[in-house]
A = this chain, B = another copy of it.
Amino acid sequence: MIELCPIGVVHVDVEDDDLQRKGSVEGVIEIYDEFKEGLHLLEGFSHLILLTFLNKVDAEARKVLKVRFRRLQQSGVPVELLPEVGVFASDSPHRPNPIGLTIVRVTEIKCKAIYVSGLDVYDGTPVLDIKPYTPFRRIEVIEVPEWFSKIASYVKREP
């Protein structure tokens, strides 16, 4: 068993249901006092990779290995385009280790509070780690499966 500790918490002023509808929102990443020294020289990175622990995913949902992107029907994706995929081929929060990976845009850093946009996690979500998003993280030429391209053409963000 691997043990991790929260280094901070995400604050968003949005109800859980509204977050699902909006997709992404502005908010604050609060880093706990004991870890704030780790933010030294973080200023100047326009984007960060935020790793969170999706603590509302319960034990049953951690057993899920295949998912169907049903909520994408709300975005107008025809149901026949929604295959059942393995969780590791998806961004589903339902997965054995529910670690959220969000690329956020930094608005401002004030002491131990990082103001960001692009958050897709609930208010109170524990923060596991923050890494700078650098040119080394940006792969220029990538390929995705055809089923993914078809879905992606209907949505503006990660299915």
Taking a contact as CB atoms under 8 Å apart, the answer to whether A91 and B2 are in contact is no
A47 to B141, CA, bound (A): 9
Number of copies: 2
Taking a contact as CB atoms under 8 Å apart, the answer to whether A103 and B139 are in contact is yes
Among A1, A91, A131, A146: residue with most chain B CB under 10 A: A131
Chain B nearest CB from A34 CB (Å) reads: 9
Chain B nearest CB from A118 CB (Å) reads: 9
Within the complex, which residue of B39, B43, B131 is in contact with A101, where a contact is CB–CB below 8 Å? B131
Among the 9-residue stretches A10-18, A70-78, A79-87, the one with 4 or more Cβ atoms under 8 Å from chain B is A79-87
Residues of B within 8 A of A84 (CB): 40
Taking a contact as CB atoms under 8 Å apart, the answer to whether A129 and B5 are in contact is no
Task: Decide if A157 is an interface residue (CB 8 Å cutoff).
Answer: yes
Residues of B within 8 A of A96 (CB): 5, 7, 35, 38, 129
Task: Decide if A42 is an interface residue (CB 8 Å cutoff).
Answer: yes
Chain B nearest CB from A82 CB (Å) reads: 12
A8 to B36, CA, bound (A): 32
Sample (21) of A-B pairs whose CB atoms are under 8 Å apart: A1-B3, A2-B3, A2-B55, A5-B96, A7-B96, A39-B88, A40-B86, A41-B83, A41-B145, A43-B145, A44-B148, A45-B144, A46-B142, A51-B97, A88-B129, A99-B128, A133-B139, A133-B142, A134-B152, A135-B142, A135-B144
Given A2-B4, A2-B53, A4-B97, do A132 and B90 touch, yes or no (CB 8 Å)? yes
